[in-house]
Amino acid sequence: MNSAQIEIQLIASLVAIACAIPGTFLVLRKMAMISDAISHSILPGIVIGFFITQDLNSPLLILLAAFTGIITVVLVEYIQKTGLVKEDTAIGLVFPALFSIGVILIAKNANDVHLDVDAVLLGELAFAPFDRLFIGGTDVGPKSLWIIGSILITTIGLLLAFFKELKLSTFDKGLAASLGFSPAIIHYGLMSVASVTTVGAFDAVGAILVVALMIAPAATAYLLTTDLKKMLGLAIGFGVLSAISGYWFAHWLDASIAGSITTMLGFIFLIVFLFAPSKGIIAVMYREKQQRTEVSLLTFLLHLKNHTEERERHVNHLQEHINWQKVRAKTVLDLALKNNMIVFNKNIVSLTEKGDTFTSKAIDYIITNEDAQIEDMKEDFFLFRG
Amino acid sequence: MKEQSQNKETPTYSGVLAVKVDDLTVAYNYKPVLWDIDLEIPEGVLMAIVGPNGAGKSTLIKSILGILKPIAGSVSIYGKPYDKQRKLVAYVPQKGSVDWDFPTTALDVVMMGTYGSLGWIKRPKQKEKKAALEALEKVGMLAFKSRQISQLSGGQQQRIFLARALVQNASIYFMDEPFQGVDATTEIAIINILKELRKAGKTVIVVHHDLQTVPEYFDWVTFLNVKKIATGPVKDIFNDDNLTKTYGINYKVSIQE
Ligand SMILES: Nc1ncnc2c1ncn2[C@@H]1O[C@H](COP(=O)(O)OP(=O)(O)OP(=O)(O)O)[C@@H](O)[C@H]1O
Ligand SMILES: [Mg+2]
């Protein structure tokens, strides 16, 4: 690896971390769309900032553009508050309007502005190492690295300071308000961080990748944990993993880095969506199947318990009586046998002592729904999980 | 109205006002849903707020707590505006007002009750955790402390929110329908905790829908339907006349058997 390659991966990873942090809260607040809106509507801010500063990396430009992001949020909320349209409609009204102002400004001043819309939307990570920062004549590294690095440090500082407030106001706005943690301040704080991150990152990675890096890792992490801190950690991990694997994928294909990172984000999400241990669709399907079998098992055991007559407990009779297909009946019988709940005696099935206790306990649970019982039984039995 | 036999432990009131609401008018989108409410709640009462769906009960509580901004009127808690008295007040919201799929555990939710006394930036420590565990114990939910909250039943969720209010260690408790969707055992467990709070001199204000149990559970009642219909001791004002005025239909209290 040469130093440019390392720098590109470093920038991509820092952007991923800086995006995953506000992204986690945006996902939990069901505001994924607003980050899309911000990423587009900062365009006029960038153009105007560029007229003033003539430097795409100037901090003033970043602040101006981030301010456009905040204006977007305010406008969306204002339109929504009129009660005439819903939030998604309000977002759909605001950001194309602001974005098109940016496009027109660029077109009108094409001669003075070395900026094109594609570059804003897609960015070009591969060029990031060439725009370097010199302090007193010494090369201290790529400018984007410094910009995104400072944004990341600020974000982490804010996260550490206000984690509790963010968590509370995201989970329960009402309680936050009544305890004196103004949800509005926290909301606009989060929006400001999202806006500044978007602007700071767009030059290197483009507005679209910024959105993907905010939403996809957080959405992936959400499927894997029920702990907010772990969700943040996982989101950061997935972001960095996509950034680095995406870089090498692009290298191998000789394709756009931003595009490859986005592909990786989508790919990782898909894998987790399928295979996540408790929320993944395969796990859900497996659990449903398992539960069906267990309900059948219980029905079967109950039947045995309720009927002392041998006629009712003959293997053949069971099949026609309980009216199951062969396969199903066999699965249930096997499961019961495996757990030592039944014994066969000349084709007559009877409950073992264990099977008998288990059945009584299960009935008890179903009738009384006592919490204490469910806690023990969860260990043995899928049925009572979740 | 027939003689009532409720409230064996007749509470003693100090005569101090815990909450005072003056000329409160609250509107959503300029449509007033509470008109000109005057309300005085003495310290130490266990009070029910009753009224039909949409009467503005939740709105009244949210306005007292500063969650909603009234278009007119004022609220004071022990003589001072709410902003200055936050730490004296705890609130259990109506069910369904939070995101149940939020990645957080029962213990974590209860800990949130301690955030108010911590203030900005400071993080909960061992002491807060201990208080939260004690509150969980009190509502009989200690075994569930590590459960993600969506994996709790409705009644269990309600208990968690009660525990969260308990750790706030407040003087005034507002609860919006704490008995909604809970079974008889949980209801009794909750009301016992509320009575204990009253015994400790706290003021407890509960939005309540089950009119049958008002005389048994509460000593004070406020009838609300957009306007305040009546407020006072249950034994004096919980009668057919006020119920009819509040619910519109001809209401008969045929329940004291
Ligand atoms: N966010 C809101 N925006 C607009 N109108 C609202 C909003 N919340 C409540 N309302 C309206 O205000 C009125 C009072 O609502 P509130 O929730 O205070 O009633 P409530 O007495 O608590 O009813 P319930 O018994 O159903 O809980 C209702 O007519 C309701 O439709
Ligand atoms: Mg209500």
How do residues B156-200 score in pLDDT, each as one tens digit?
888 999 999 999 989 999 999 988 878 888 899 899 999 999 999
* Alpha-carbon span B39 to B242, nearest angstrom: 16
**Contact across the interface for B156 and A371, Cβ inside 8 Å:** yes
User: CA-based Rg of chain A, rounded to a whole angstrom?
Assistant: 29
Return d(Cα B18, Cα B42) in angstroms, integer. Answer: 5
Q: What pLDDT score does B256 carry?
A: 45
For chain A, residues with pLDDT lower than 70 are 110-115, 318-327, 366, 368-386
Query: Taking every pair of C-alpha atoms in chain B, what is the biggest distance, in angstroms?
Result: 55
- Tally C-beta pairs within 8 A across A and B: 83
Return phi, psi of residue B227, to 5°: -105, 165
Q: How many CB atoms lie within 10 A of CB B209?
A: 15
What SS3 state is found at A370?
Answer: coil
pLDDT at position A380, please?
A: 57
What is the per-residue pLDDT for A157? 97
User: What digits encode the pLDDT tens for the residues B50-64?
Assistant: 999 999 999 999 999
* Chain B residues within an 8 Å CB radius of A231: 103
User: Residue B105 above 90 pLDDT?
Assistant: yes
What's the gap in Å between A256 CA and the centre of ligand 1? Answer: 52
**Gyration radius of chain B over CA positions:** 18
Query: May I ask the CATH class of domain A3-217?
Result: mainly alpha
Ligand 1 closest atom vs CA B59: 18
> Would you say the CB of residue B56 lies under 6 angstroms from ligand 1?
yes
Packing angle of the helix pair A315-322, A326-338 (nearest 10 deg): 120
Among residues A112, A87, A95, which one has the least CA distance to residue A45? A95
Distance A15 CA to ligand 2 centre (A): 44
Grade residue B251 by pLDDT with cuts at 50, 70 and 90.
Answer: low
Rounded CA gap, B192 and B178, in Å?
Answer: 13
Burial A203-241 (b: 16+ CB within 10 A, else e): bbbbbbbbbbbbbbbbbbbbbbbbbbeebbebbbbbbbb
| B56 C-alpha to ligand 1 centroid (Å) | 6
The kind and range of the H/E element at A336 are helix A326-338
Q: Do A28 and B98 touch (CB under 8 A)?
A: no
Three-state DSSP string of chain B: CCCCCCCCCCCCCCCCEEEEEEEEEEEECCEEEEEEEEEEEECCCEEEEECCCCCCHHHHHHHHCCCCCCCEEEEEECCECHHHHHHHEEEECCCCCCCCCCCCEHHHHHHHHHHHHHCCCCCCCHHHHHHHHHHHHHCCCHHHCCCEHHHCCHHHHHHHHHHHHHHCCCCEEEEECCCCCCCHHHHHHHHHHHHHHHHCCCEEEEECCCHHHHHHHCCEEEEEECEEEEEEEHHHHCCHHHHHHHHCCCCCCCCCC
Question: Which chain A residue shows the shortest CA-CA distance from B147?
Answer: A226
Query: Beta-carbon neighbour count of residue A181 at 10 Å?
Result: 21
End-to-end CA distance of chain B: 12
Name the band, by pLDDT with cuts 50, 70 and 90, for residue B67.
confident
Query: Are B177 and B132 a contacting pair, CB within 8 Å?
Result: no
Q: Which numbered ligand comes closest to the C-alpha of B53? A: 1
Cα(B117) to centroid(ligand 2), Å: 27
Q: Which two tokens stand for residue A212?
A: 């993907």
Nearest to B151 among A165, A174, A386 (CB): A386
Residue of A165, A172, A367 best to disrupt the B interface, most CBs of B under 10 A:
A172
Q: What is the pLDDT of residue B66?
A: 87
Distance (angstroms) between ligand 1 centre and the Cα of A168 equals 23
Mean pLDDT in residue range B1-24: 69
Three-class DSSP category at A231: helix
**Cβ atoms within 10 Å of A118's Cβ, excluding its own:** 10
Q: How close are the terminal C-alpha atoms of chain A, in Å? A: 48
CATH 1.20.58 fits A282-380, yes or no: no
**Is the pLDDT at B83 greater than 90, yes or no?**
no
Whether ipTM exceeds 0.90: no
Give the pLDDT score at A200.
Answer: 87
Residues of A in contact with B65 (CB under 8 A): 174, 177-178
Alpha-carbon gap: B182 to the closest alpha carbon of chain A (Å)? 13
- Per-residue pLDDT, A326: 66
**B129-to-A296, A302, B126, B171 alpha-carbon distances in Å:** 43, 44, 5, 21
Judged by its nearest atom, the ligand closest to the C-alpha of residue B62 is: 1
> Within 13 A of B118's CA, how many CA atoms are on the CB side?
23
B5 pLDDT more than 50: no
Report the percent of chain B where pLDDT is more than 70. 91
What is the phi/psi pair of residue A121, to 5°?
A: -75, -40
Return the axis-axis angle of helices A3-28 and A207-222, rounded to nearest 10°: 60
Where along chain A do its domains lie? Answer: 3-217, 282-380
Q: Which residues on chain B are in Cβ contact (under 8 Å) with A181?
A: 115, 120
Asked if pLDDT for residue B13 goes beyond 80, the answer is no
**Residue B78 neighbours by CB distance under 10 Å:** 17
Please choose, from the candidates B250, B175, B257, the residue with its C-alpha nearest in 3D space to the C-alpha of residue B218: B175
Tell whether the model's pLDDT for residue B110 goes beyond 90.
yes
Which residue has its alpha carbon closest to ligand 1 atom 5? Answer: B28
B65 DSSP β-pair partners: none
Pinpoint the alpha helices (H) of A172-206. Answer: 173-178, 183-205
Six token digits for residue A232: 């943040």
B67 vs A225: CB contact, 8 Å cut-off?
no
Nearest CA of chain A to the CA of B104: how many Å? 5
Q: How far apart are CA A334 and CA B52, in angstroms?
A: 56
Does A375 sit within 8 Å of B103, measured CB to CB?
no
In three-state secondary structure terms, A38 is: helix
Point out the ligand nearest to the CA of residue B60: 1
Distance CA A103, CA A57 (A): 20
A369: nearest Cα among B155, B99, B226: B155
pLDDT classification of B255: cutoffs 50, 70, 90: very low
CA distances for A81 relative to A78, A238, B30, angstroms: 5, 36, 12
Query: Which tokens in the block code for residue B243?
Result: 């119920």
Contact by Cβ (8 Å): B186, B113 = no
In the three-class reduction of DSSP (H, G, I as helix; E, B as strand; rest coil), residue A193 is classed as helix
- Under DSSP, is residue A288 helix (H, G, I), strand (E, B) or coil? helix
The CA A76 to ligand 2 mean position distance, Å, reads: 28
List the structure tokens of B44: 């130490």
Query: Which of A81, A179, A225 should be substituted to probe chain B, the one whose Cβ sees the most B Cβ atoms within 10 Å?
Result: A179
Please tell me the predicted confidence (pLDDT) of residue B137. 93
What confidence tens digit (pLDDT) does each residue in B117-168 have? Answer: 899 999 999 999 999 999 999 998 999 999 999 888 888 888 999 999 999 9
* CA nearest ligand 1 atom 30, residue: B54
The pLDDT tens digits for A20-48 are: 999 999 999 999 888 889 988 888 888 88
**Using a CB-CB distance cutoff of 8 angstroms, which residues of chain A are in contact with residue B58?**
none
Residue nearest (by alpha carbon) to ligand 1 atom 16: B56
